[in-house]
């Protein structure tokens, strides 16, 4: 064991011994990544990870120093060639944005500055406040509201629901827990709502039985008659309804709930009205959608992602809450070790930990700040509009092709369709379409994902991709038919 004196006489750090070497490598990394993004169209949309790479990535903890050139070589050989592919022009799986070159550089700058955007008097705190104000402006939400940048839609939704839960009972839920409420605390959403809401309700101790999932109409929009009936019967049963959740773009089909009706019903029963607009809230900037999404302006809270339809690199989401005091009351705490001072580093804006679950937080706001300056908000609205137009175009291609069938109306940027053949049952078509999705991905043609609608397996395209072009959707439709015909004629595995 070394003595303290010996350790201190030989102090070490993690900075490079040779700064020039790291600088040169950094320049090359930037060149390589710019080429990677620039040339992504000529790459397959997805590649299978070889067993050799999987073995390599299980080698165990490094105990001795390795050369940074070698480490970068390993990244290029084993990591870079096998991405999920969401920066590719034909990636439309789940709902994932595409990122941008400047967004990636902003991440590098944020990591180099490395601020903890939890508290204190430093620039990152003010950049976040500015970006939050921009987010309010983007969806015409009141500037007096409060907000916080979070990792994504799941965190944004739970943050809003915690504020709703604590505020609506008028009890001290933070101290007493939900047992302080009368009966069960119930909340309402459609069956099409994203699973993160159910997870939030479970984590919040409310229990998923109290999340009333209301059925939807033929357009996958919540049935407001059933909603009103459910609220009234819960009140009659002695429960405490507290929140209605509307979807601005459901995850399955992109359906927009009748938000204005939901707001009215919430107001009539004195309930908190929350909108999960993970991607769809931002379509409010598109003139054709400003009316159907207008009620967002009057919601009590709204959750949306900036890594989806603002094309920011992962991760960044946003929650805005109309009643800033209700928001702060849900999370604020006083501790000796996080005290604000009048001057110096510990001065500064209200600590962000008073507005969410996390204390330590990275500098997410920088990529949004730089990217919005790069393009201006109008360009984002135009690209979102382009994504919607492309989705309607794909819908038309599907309708025109006798071997394809739409499984849900196209209402925004999500298209659910399947290959069909007259002689095959639904069960057989389910298997065949699943095979098509896997083949499209394995052949590196395109990456749609899938869902089940009314028992039917759907090929699902969620378009939040600023690199996609009209021809990419033509390729998708054509290749779906080609692969579908081949399997239908020759059987699976053909
Ligand atoms: C409607 C909706 N809500 C919530 C989420 C969850 O968002 P995140 O994955 O950013 O946590 C998603 C994700 O796709 C979504 O589509």
> Per-residue pLDDT for 415 more than 90?
yes
Instruction: Give distance in angstroms: CA of 369 to centre of ligand 1.
Output: 22
> Per-residue pLDDT for 493 more than 80?
no
If asked whether residues 368 and 481 sit together in one domain, one would say no
Residues with CB under 6 A from ligand 1: 94-95, 152-154, 194, 196, 249, 251, 276, 278-279, 305, 317
CB environment 432-463: b (16+ within 10 A), e (fewer): bbebbbebbbeebbbbbbbbebeebbbbbbbb
- Mean pLDDT (whole number) for 145-165: 98
Convert the pLDDT of each residue in 377-406 to its tens digit.
Answer: 999 999 999 999 999 999 999 999 999 999
Last residue of one domain, picked from the residues 355, 375, 395: 375
> Per-residue pLDDT for 125 more than 80?
yes
221 assigned to some structural domain? yes
Q: Look at strands 185-190 and 211-214 and give their pairing.
A: parallel
91 assigned to some structural domain? no
CATH number at residue 263: 3.40.640.10
- The whole-number pLDDT of residue 381 equals 98
- The whole-number pLDDT of residue 494 equals 47
If asked whether residues 339 and 430 sit together in one domain, one would say no
Last residue of one domain, picked from the residues 375, 405, 439: 375
If asked whether residues 195 and 317 sit together in one domain, one would say yes
461 assigned to some structural domain? yes
436 assigned to some structural domain? yes
Convert the pLDDT of each residue in 40-58 to its tens digit.
Answer: 999 999 999 999 999 999 9
Convert the pLDDT of each residue in 230-255 to its tens digit.
Answer: 999 999 999 999 999 999 999 999 99
If asked whether residues 355 and 398 sit together in one domain, one would say no
DSSP state, residue 356 = S
36 assigned to some structural domain? no
> Per-residue pLDDT for 492 more than 70?
no
CATH number at residue 454: 3.90.1150.170
If asked whether residues 425 and 282 sit together in one domain, one would say no
If asked whether residues 319 and 407 sit together in one domain, one would say no
Mean pLDDT of the chain: 97
Could you tell which of 96, 149, 154 is best to mutate to test the pocket of ligand 1, judged by most ligand atoms within 8 Å of the CB?
154
Three-state DSSP state, 212:
strand
Domains: count for the chain: 2
If asked whether residues 164 and 246 sit together in one domain, one would say yes
389 assigned to some structural domain? yes
The atom number, within ligand 1, closest to the CA of 249 reads 1
- Mean pLDDT (whole number) for 328-347: 94
Q: Whose alpha carbon is nearest atom 16 of ligand 1?
A: 251
Q: CB of 228 within 8 A of CB of 253?
A: no
> Per-residue pLDDT for 314 more than 70?
yes
If asked whether residues 281 and 406 sit together in one domain, one would say no
Cis peptide before 315 (omega within 30 of 0): yes
Quote the pTM value: 0.97
If asked whether residues 451 and 433 sit together in one domain, one would say yes
Could you tell which of 151, 158, 193, 194 is best to mutate to test the pocket of ligand 1, judged by most ligand atoms within 8 Å of the CB?
194
If asked whether residues 162 and 257 sit together in one domain, one would say yes
Q: Whole domain around residue 399: which residue ranges?
A: 378-490
């Amino acid at each position: 064991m070394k003595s303290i004196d010996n350790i201190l006489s030989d102090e070490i750090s993690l900075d490079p011994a040779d700064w020039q070497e790291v600088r040169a490598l950094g320049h090359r990394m930037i060149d390589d990544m710019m080429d990677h993004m620039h040339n992504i169209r000529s790459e397959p949309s997805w590649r299978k990870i070889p067993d050799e790479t999987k073995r390599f990535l299980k080698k165990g903890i490094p105990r001795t120093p390795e050369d940074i050139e070698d480490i970068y070589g390993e990244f290029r050989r084993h990591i870079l060639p096998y991405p999920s592919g969401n920066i590719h022009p034909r990636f439309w799986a789940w709902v994932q944005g595409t990122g941008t070159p400047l967004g990636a550089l902003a991440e590098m700058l944020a990591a180099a500055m490395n601020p903890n955007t939890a508290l204190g008097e430093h620039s990152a705190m003010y950049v976040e406040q500015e970006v939050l104000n921009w987010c309010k402006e983007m969806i015409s939400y009141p500037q007096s509201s409060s907000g916080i940048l979070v990792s994504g839609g799941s965190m944004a939704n739970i943050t809003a629901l915690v504020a709703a839960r604590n505020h609506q009972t008028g009890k001290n839920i933070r101290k007493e827990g939900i047992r302080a409420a009368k009966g069960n605390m119930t909340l309402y959403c459609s069956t099409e709502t994203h699973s993160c809401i159910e997870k939030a309700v479970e984590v919040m101790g409310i229990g998923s039985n109290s999340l009333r999932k209301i059925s939807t109409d033929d357009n996958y929009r919540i049935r407001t008659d059933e909603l009103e009936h459910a609220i009234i019967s819960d009140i009659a049963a002695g429960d405490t309804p507290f929140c209605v959740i509307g979807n601005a773009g459901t995850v399955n089909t992109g359906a927009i709930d009748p938000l204005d009706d939901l707001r009215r019903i919430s107001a009539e029963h004195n309930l908190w009205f929350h909108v999960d607009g993970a991607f769809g809230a931002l379509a409010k900037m598109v003139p054709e959608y400003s009316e159907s999404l207008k009620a967002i302006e009057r919601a009590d809270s709204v959750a949306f992602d900036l890594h989806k339809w603002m094309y920011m690199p992962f991760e960044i989401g946003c929650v805005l809450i109309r009643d800033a005091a209700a928001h702060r009351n849900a999370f604020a705490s006083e501790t000796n070790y996080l005290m604000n001072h009048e001057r110096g580093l510990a001065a500064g804006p209200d600590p962000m930990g008073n507005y969410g679950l996390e204390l330590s937080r990275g500098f997410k706001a920088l990529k949004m700040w730089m990217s919005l300056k790069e393009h201006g908000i109008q360009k984002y609205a135009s690209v979102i509009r382009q994504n919607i137009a492309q989705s309607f175009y794909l819908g038309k291609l599907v309708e025109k092709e006798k071997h394809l069938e739409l499984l849900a109306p196209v209402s925004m940027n999500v298209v659910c369709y399947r290959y069909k053949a007259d002689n095959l049952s639904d069960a057989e078509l389910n298997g065949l379409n699943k095979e098509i999705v896997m083949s499209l991905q394995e052949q590196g043609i395109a990456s749609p994902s899938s869902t089940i609608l009314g028992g039917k397996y759907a090929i699902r395209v969620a378009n939040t991709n600023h690199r996609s072009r009209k021809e990419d959707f033509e390729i998708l439709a054509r290749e779906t038919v080609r692969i579908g015909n081949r399997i239908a004629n020759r059987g699976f595995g053909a």
